[in-house]
Each structure stands twice: as structure tokens, then as C-alpha cells.
Structure 1
Amino acid sequence: MRDIAIRAINAAQQFGASYVDVRVMERTTEGIEVRNGRVEGVSSSASIGFNVRVLVNGAWGFASSDRMELAEAERIAQLAVQIARASALVAGDPVRLSPLSPQKGTYRTPMQLDPFLVPLQQKVQLLLDADAAMRSVKGVTLSSAMMEYSREHKYFASSEGSEIEQELYDTGAAISASAVDAQSNEIQTRSYPNSFGRQAGTVGYEFIEAMELVEHGARVGEEAVQLLTAPQCPSGIKTIILDGPQVGLQVHESCGHPIELDRVLGYEAGFVGKSFLTTDKFNNNYRYGSEYINITADATIPGALGTFGWDDEGVPAQRTPIVTRGIFNGYLTSRDTAPLIGLASNGSVRADGWNRLPMIRMTNVSLEPGSWKLTDLIADTDDGIYMSINKSWSIDDRRLNFQFGVEMAYEIKNGKPGRLYKNATYTGITPQFWGSCDAVCGPDEWAVWGTPNCGKGEPMQVMRTGHGAAPARFRNVQVGVGRWS
């Protein structure tokens, strides 16, 4: 890896580049899926290649290849320089990079059990047992259990003298059960630990073992069946309590995406939209939420899915305040966007493969824990609705107006759980919604929820992000059918 990188850097400089960085990356992924008592698939994939990114006349050039040869490194370096020269003919202001001292070091995901070394039969049997536990419930029509784990080995070097080697693992799993009403064909689904993919982290196989998938199988199945006969969630202005996974997704969609500075500056407008958090709101006492809202971007949280040693520009992982006691005060930045607002990069740049440009991506954007216990929070709520695990979402291209649906809800009456509800939804406008939060649960119920499939860019890149969250309460929220409030 190093030989390829150094050869490419030297060649690009000889061809006229003022700055060069090279990423050499190898990624291996394995997955297992069980459905209705049968092994549906065992997959394995691997990819290796490198890319060269250069600055020439103040413009970027980028090229990549999967041919791991020294002569190819020189050819790709020359191609990247040619692309940069062409880009400079139509570029606007020249690119400026925030300062960065030469970075040297290695980083490896801490773990107890390498998921690639755990016997395949053991992993398959765990999923089969979890699937059987769900199917033991009468009325379960479809059961699914899956796991996926990957290893990413990458080497970064730059013309500024940085040389970094990292080995990053991510590991995750999930189960789900669905029940179908034979008369109406209505389908209700319950998931664990999260929906839409899996719960994942930068950790080893011990993470999957700690989920206790088998032990939760019957409960997941029972709740799916119970939802078929549950009443529809009532509409109106309500007090709601969101569980940890739902708060995590709310943070991802309405907090994480709008603080990506490339989106704020309009660079992503044609692909994924803009942001309501425009630069005039930065350091201007803009109220993003209530005093209980403290949000950070932290790539150093142990085991979180957005954790690493250095980003893909060689910037060290770090913790950045985003919202402090409800006041907005931070963005996710890169070396070429941060100087535009007088900052240095906070290490938020990644690419999902060797043939993709690095761009600003969420790390671990988290709602910091409060002081409540969930049982006390429910007891303190006279009339409300508790909502659990995401089922659907919709949000506008500025990340302002949104609607979320959850798999399961139940009423809270006089501080006690009441009837089960199905098809619960809530809507809001981002700053008003976070402004309505009056309680966040504490560290005992705070966890980092992995989002392994966040898409951005063109061609779309899928990135792995994390979101620390605990159950939280929001007042005066539109639940069910209604207009934006």
C-alpha cells in the first residue's frame, strides 16, 4: 500500500500538483440472512484499489484504479493532474485548505472477537435460533434475522508528510417479525434492536452476542401479532416520548444532515438538497432547540459506528459541539469548506470506497444525555403517547419539515402505560420540534444507534454513522393526520 501511495504522490508533484493525497483501501464484507427458518444467503465480497486527489491551479482533480501496480500509480497521478487542470479553467475561487500538521500513526478498531474468525456455523445457528423464537409465536407470518460485518484496511498519505494506516471493523445484526391479517391483508412488523438494516457499531462479534437476539425473538413476534388488532393511534396535538432508536434517527435526519457544511454552502443542492442552518445562523445565538438540547459530533466514542482514528483527509478524529443548551454553534467541515467560515476542519470527511471522492459525512452526531430515568419520565407524563422504532420518514430538502412513523406506540395516562396503538406518526418543523423538548433521559438509557446505510452524493455513497440518544419527551406535537405545525 505504501509503495503505491508514495509513487503516486511523487509523480503528481512532478506533473505540477501543489497538493496530493492518496488513499489505498481494501474492504471485505460478509453477510448472513435467515428467513422463515431457512438460510437465504451467505455472502462475501472484497474490493481493493487506490485513488489520487490533487490540487492544480486551485482546482481539484481525482482519479482512481483497481490495478495495484507502480506504473498504474503514475498513470492515475497524471490523470488526476490533467483533470485538475481542466477543472481550473472553469473553477471559481481557488481552493484553500485549512492547516494540518503532518499526521503519523495507526488505528485499529478495538474488539474482543473478530467476526471473521467466529465459525460460520455458530453465526448461522444464532440467526436460526432467533428466527425460530419469532416463529414460535402463533400468527407470525414472516420472520427474518440477519448479520453483516466488514473489515476496511486503508492507507493514507499526503504531500504534506502525513502517513496513516487504519483497520476499521463494523459489525451488526437485527431481527424482525411480521404478521398479516388474512381478511384485510394488513401487515404489521416489529424489529429489534432497530429497523431498516441493523444495529451496528465499530466493534467485534461480542456486539452481536450482547444483543441477545434469541431472547428477544418471542417478544418481537408477539408485538407484531398484537399490532394487528390494536386501534389506530389517535390524531391531535399531543405530548410524545420517543424511544432511543427513534430519537437517534430524528437526530440523523433533522440534526446531522443540516450541519454538513457542503450542503449548507449549496454544493449538494442538485443531489440531496440544502440546509436551513445557513451560515448567517452560525455563532449568532440562533436557537435550535430548548435548553435541554445539547448535540455533539464526536468521532472518538468507543464502539460507535462513526468512530475512527483519522478521517479521509488525514484530520484526527475529534469532538465538536453542535448545539449547546439549545443554541446552534457548529458544523461538520472539511479542509476546503472550513476556511470559508473561518474555521479549521473538524475531521468529518469520508468516502465509502477507493473509487469515490471523499466528502463531508456525519461521524457520531448525538443528543447528549439528560438526567431522567424513563420510568420517572413516563410517571411524570399525565397524557401522552410513547413511540418506538422507526417505520417511515419524510423530510424536505432543507431538513426543516418532517414526518415520521413508528412501528409501535402506546398511550400514557396518569403516568402509566395504557393501550397499544398502531400506525402512529408525528410531524413537525425542526427548530420548533427540538424547542418543544422538555426532558431527556440519562446515561443509563443512552446508547449509540448505528445508521449503516446513509446515502449522499452522485454517484451515491453509502456511509456508516452513529447517533447517541436516549428517550426524550416533546410537548405539543402534531400526532397522526394533520398539517405542518
Structure 2
Amino acid sequence: MRRRDFLYMTGLGAGAAMLPSLNTFGKIITVEEALTPVDVKLKKQMADIALNAAKGKGASYADVRIGRYLNQVVATRETRVENISNSESYGLGVRVLAGGSWGFAATNKLDNDSIAKAAEMAVAIAKGNAKLMSEPVQLAAQKGYGEVSWKTPVEVNAFSVPIPDKVELLLSVNNEALKGGAKYVNSNLFMINEQKYFASTDGSYIDQDIHRIWPNFTVTKIDETNGKFETRNALSAPMGMGFEYLTPKDEEKIKGGPVTLYKKRYDMFEDVKEATVHVAEKLKAKPVAAGKYDLVLDPSHLFLTIHESVGHPTELDRVLGYEANYAGTSFLTLDKWETKKFNFGSKQVNIIADKMEKGSLGAVGYDDEGVKCGKWDIIKDGILVNYQTIRDQAHILGLKESQGCCYADSWDSIQFQRMPNVSLAPGEAALSAADMVKNVEKGIYMFGRNSYSIDQQRYNFQFSAQLAYEIKEGKIVGMFKDASYQSNTQEFWNSCVQLCDKNDYRLGGTFSDGKGQPSQVSAVSHGSPTTRFNGVKVINTGSKLG
């Protein structure tokens, strides 16, 4: 479908332009339906039916989650529209404690009888599970908050922006890439709205409205003389924001060096223009020589290393071996935490969990078992001091209350321990990335996430980047290709020697972090400043040099 034809069709109404879905779930709906919320009084009535039914069947505790999950996808390639979809998934899940064990059931039939039957089934499941339990669930105390609400502080609801405007944006981005010599380009907008209502026998009735957005593209150029090609993805970060994320402010840009960087908002046009230049450079870039280098890692790259080597191994269920089949356990066993002396990294390394950071993917007011969210230290001055917990794990660490790390990706998924935003705190001394580079004799400056691997205990790993630039005697002298660094988590974080200040701090993140069986996905951000790591092993992944 060409631009002219598409814009004509969308002028007739959003429903006329519905195309098959790339990445959605639930039923297809119109934009107008997506913008119509469910009445809070109705949600409270449904929650009370479930809670009363659960208590009536003998539950010692019960909570209810009523979830309405909205997805919108707009996908384009070169001069045409590939996909547009609005979808909704809406239903109710009931979790109970009975006989010291958990039980869970869910339904998308929201009449009174169906809701009550789901609660009764959850109790029956819990009582059946209790027969297999060696010890009862220990649930941390949690006060009730009454009727409260929280909303992502969006300026523009992304679902309210007309689809033709979004298509025009993406096709204009594609046009910039084609003008810059790209052979292929695709661009996408992913938008999510989670309307979540939580109620429990503790006395909480919590209504939350959560928004996330992710603009992305991939640019490809081909060397016609030899048929080789290179690509570069957008350096955007998915964010917990509205459509205002795509209206950049000049004062928020970090300029200088080979890449324009964005503090809070994102310029898709500027990024795609630079991407066409970068892929041309990548076609001519020299292979990296294997060896030890000082690495200068931009937040657009470092977030993924934080996610894999810090975020996952400090999930308490992995530490305890409860989570093993999906991506492994953790080397950060309890005995290391108990010493209060385990050297995770250098004294420069301070890792903070924060469920409230504005603009982050994981920002919510309350988690999915009604715990008010906050922040805490995980690594303090290089020492492991804490993990990530939920209500039935808190007693293991001697905590009086949960840290608010419970999440379910749908109304029909049981909530369990998921990663909060886990971030590397900036340095205290004033330092820009440009000044950091000036002090590097032999190094590599890396941007953007790319391929990686890490072992089942989150210890030995390998990461590459979208862009890798050679630093020689304090100057960026050209681009490397096929550069990937290898290390283990403890060695790598102990090689951290310098961090830029808070003016350079930025968020990266992932829209779909997988965990559990049946698998669930969550969205989580990781902030950091540009950071220097000395003497890290770099290999060449494209030849025998590595």
C-alpha cells in the first residue's frame, strides 16, 4: 500500500485500515474503543465479588487483578505500510492463599457468576497444592491503601495521535534513509497501555494507567562491488512516556563525537540521517585487532550489559534456584550476600533498583501484589548488599516488607518476581564523555545494543555493539568492525574506573524481557552514564584474528 492510498483510506476511518497483526494479542479494536476506559466503580464491584467468594471458600488471603492491555503497532518499510493493529486483552485473575499454598485462576467472562467461579477455583487449586507443600507460604505484612490511583505522567496519550500522523512520521523517516543511500529501511512504532486494577483482602483498591512507547528502525546499505551489507538500528530507548517522547528539545541533546545523543526525548529524523552515514562507515571499517582495550561504553550499549550481568543475577528467585529453566540461575548465591563483603565491582560501582524513576519502563506506583514502590541499593561501593524480592520472599532476607518486584504480563498470568529498573549511578565529579575519551590511550567507544551471550549463572559473557570506534591517544580515529568484548561479571565490574556525571545519565531498556514457564515478558529500563572500563579483552568476531 503506497502512502497516498493509505492516507486516503485512513481518512475514511481507522477500522478501514486494519491489517493483520505482527505483534498483538486479544481482540482487534478501534482507536476510539481503546481510548474509552473501564469505569472504576465497576472494577471495584467485580473485585469485591471475587474477594468475597474467595474468603467464603476458606482463603486466608486473596488478591484480584483486573487488567485491560492495549497494544498498537504501526510498521512500515521503504515507501509502504506493512502493518497497523490495535488490540485489546481484558479479563480478571484471582490469586489466593489457602492451606498455606498459592492458587490462581482467571477468566475473561466478567459476569458475577463467572468471577465468583474463578475465585472458587483458585481456592480449590490452593487447597490441592497445599497437600504437596513441605512448609507454608510466608507472606510479608502489607497494609491496605484504600482507594488510590497512579498514572504514567504522559503529556500526549500515544493512542490519541491519529494513525495517519504516525504513518506520515515513519514514512518520512524512511524517506530520509533512502535519500541517504539506504538500500532497505523499516521503521516501527510500538505503543502499550496497561490499565490495571488491583484489590486485596488487605484493603487496597489500586487503579493504575501505565503507558510505554518504542520508536525503532533498521537501515541497511549494500556494497554493490562485493555484495556485502551493513545495518544499524535506531539508538532510541523504549520509554515509559507518551507521544511527547518523539518531540525532542534541542537543549536535551548531547552533541559532539560520532553520535548525537538524547537525554530524555528522541529525534528519530536526526538518528536515521546519522544511521545512513554510519552504515556507510561500517562498510569501510577496519577489523578490530584482538587484544586488551579500555572501553568507553555509552548508555545506549551499557544498559544491556547491566540487564544481563546485574539485573538478572540479583533476582532472588534465580539466586534460590526457583527460576532455572528459562535463562538459568545466578552466581550471586546467598552466602556471598551474607558476608556483606562480596566484591562485585570496583568502588566506583553503585547499582540502584528504582521502581519509580520517571520515564522508565518499569515505573509504577504499586506492584502487582499491592506493594507501594520505591528504591534501594543492590551494589554499594562495589559490594553486594541486596537483591530483588516480593512478599513471599522477603523473610528469606530478614526483610519486614516486600521491595515491590511482583509483576504479571496479563490478567491470565500469575504474578511473580520480576526485575525493577536497575541502574548504575553516575559519578559525582563533573565529567563529560568527550573529556573521558581524551584520557584514553588505546580504547574502543561503543554505542547501541547488538548480539550477546551469557552463561546460565550470569557470569561469563560476550557483548558487541551497533557502533564501535577506535580511540587512539585520546582521539576517535575511525570505526572498527567485528569488535566484541569478553569477560566475567566480577572481573568486568571491577575494571570500572570512571563514570560521567549526572548530566550524561540516560536510560536504555527492553520492551520484552522474557522469564518464567509459561513464559512472560516485562518491560524494564536501565540507566547509566557513559562509563570507562580498563583492560577488557576484545575479540574479532568476523575472522580468525580473535
Same fold, judged at TM 0.5 (above) = yes
Correspondence for 1:301 among 331, 342, 357 = 357
Which amino acid in structure 2 is aligned with residue 287 of structure 1? Answer: N
Match of 2:343 in 1: 287
Q: SS in structure 1 opposite 2:287? A: coil
Q: Contact conserved, 1:407 with 1:424, CA < 8 A, in 2? A: no
User: 1-side partners of 2:87 and 2:119: how far apart?
Assistant: 27
User: 2-side partners of 1:282 and 1:142: how far apart?
Assistant: 50
Q: Deviations over 1:328-380 (max 9, x none)?
A: 11111000011122112100111100011111111210001113210110001
Q: Find out whether 1:368 has 2:421 as its counterpart.
A: no
Match of 1:14 in 2: 56
User: 2-side partners of 1:401 and 1:289: how far apart?
Assistant: 15
User: 2-side partners of 1:239 and 1:184: how far apart?
Assistant: 33
Q: Deviations over 1:169-218 (max 9, x none)?
A: 11121222112334654332112224xxxx22111100122211112222
Q: Contact conserved, 1:305 with 1:464, CA < 8 A, in 2? A: yes
User: 2-side partners of 1:402 and 1:186: how far apart?
Assistant: 28
User: 2-side partners of 1:363 and 1:381: how far apart?
Assistant: 33
Q: SS in structure 2 opposite 1:420? A: strand
Instruction: Indicate the larger mover: 309-318 or 82-91.
Output: 82-91
User: 2-side partners of 1:458 and 1:275: how far apart?
Assistant: 17
Match of 1:208 in 2: 246
Match of 2:177 in 1: 134
Match of 1:395 in 2: 454
Match of 1:238 in 2: 293
Q: SS in structure 2 opposite 1:480? A: strand
Match of 2:157 in 1: 114
Q: Find out whether 1:432 has 2:491 as its counterpart.
A: yes
User: 2-side partners of 1:455 and 1:184: how far apart?
Assistant: 38
Q: Find out whether 1:264 has 2:324 as its counterpart.
A: no
Instruction: Indicate the larger mover: 246-255 or 216-225.
Output: 216-225
Q: How does 1:62-73 map to 2 (within 5 A)?
A: 62-73=104-115
Match of 2:410 in 1: 353
Q: 1:219 to 1:481 in 2, by over 3 A?
A: closer
Q: SS in structure 2 opposite 1:92? A: coil
Deviation at 1:92, TM superposition (A): 2.2
Deviation at 1:123, TM superposition (A): 1.2
Q: SS in structure 2 opposite 1:50? A: strand
Q: Percent identity?
A: 37
TM-score normalized by the length of structure 2: 0.86
Q: Find out whether 1:423 has 2:478 as its counterpart.
A: no
Deviation at 1:393, TM superposition (A): 0.7
Q: Contact conserved, 2:482 with 2:540, CA < 8 A, in 1? A: no
Match of 1:57 in 2: 99
Q: SS in structure 1 opposite 2:308? A: helix
Deviation at 1:384, TM superposition (A): 0.7
Match of 1:162 in 2: 204
Instruction: Indicate the larger mover: 409-418 or 281-290.
Output: 281-290
Q: Deviations over 1:373-412 (max 9, x none)?
A: 1011000111111111121010111100111111221111
Correspondence for 1:254 among 279, 296, 309 = 309
Q: How does 1:334-349 map to 2 (within 5 A)?
A: 334-343=390-399, 344-349=401-406
TM-score normalized by the length of structure 1: 0.96
User: 2-side partners of 1:435 and 1:153: how far apart?
Assistant: 42
Q: Deviations over 1:119-155 (max 9, x none)?
A: 21111111111111111122x2211211111211111
Which amino acid in structure 2 is aligned with residue 219 of structure 1? Answer: E
Deviation at 1:37, TM superposition (A): 2.1
Which amino acid in structure 2 is aligned with residue 316 of structure 1? Answer: K
Q: SS in structure 2 opposite 1:425? A: strand
Name the Cα RMSD after superposition.
1.4
Q: 1:183 to 1:459 in 2, by over 3 A?
A: farther
Correspondence for 1:98 among 135, 140, 144 = 140
Q: Find out whether 1:74 has 2:116 as its counterpart.
A: yes
Q: SS in structure 2 opposite 1:201? A: coil
Match of 1:278 in 2: 333
User: 2-side partners of 1:232 and 1:357: how far apart?
Assistant: 48
Q: Contact conserved, 2:235 with 2:271, CA < 8 A, in 1? A: no
User: 1-side partners of 2:438 and 2:68: how far apart?
Assistant: 51
Which amino acid in structure 2 is aligned with residue 451 of structure 1? Answer: T
Q: Deviations over 1:296-322 (max 9, x none)?
A: 010111111110000001001100111
Gaps of 5+ in 1: none
Q: 1:417 to 1:69 in 2, by over 3 A?
A: same
User: 1-side partners of 2:382 and 2:496: how far apart?
Assistant: 10
User: 2-side partners of 1:460 and 1:141: how far apart?
Assistant: 36
Q: Contact conserved, 1:241 with 1:471, CA < 8 A, in 2? A: yes
Q: Find out whether 1:39 has 2:98 as its counterpart.
A: no
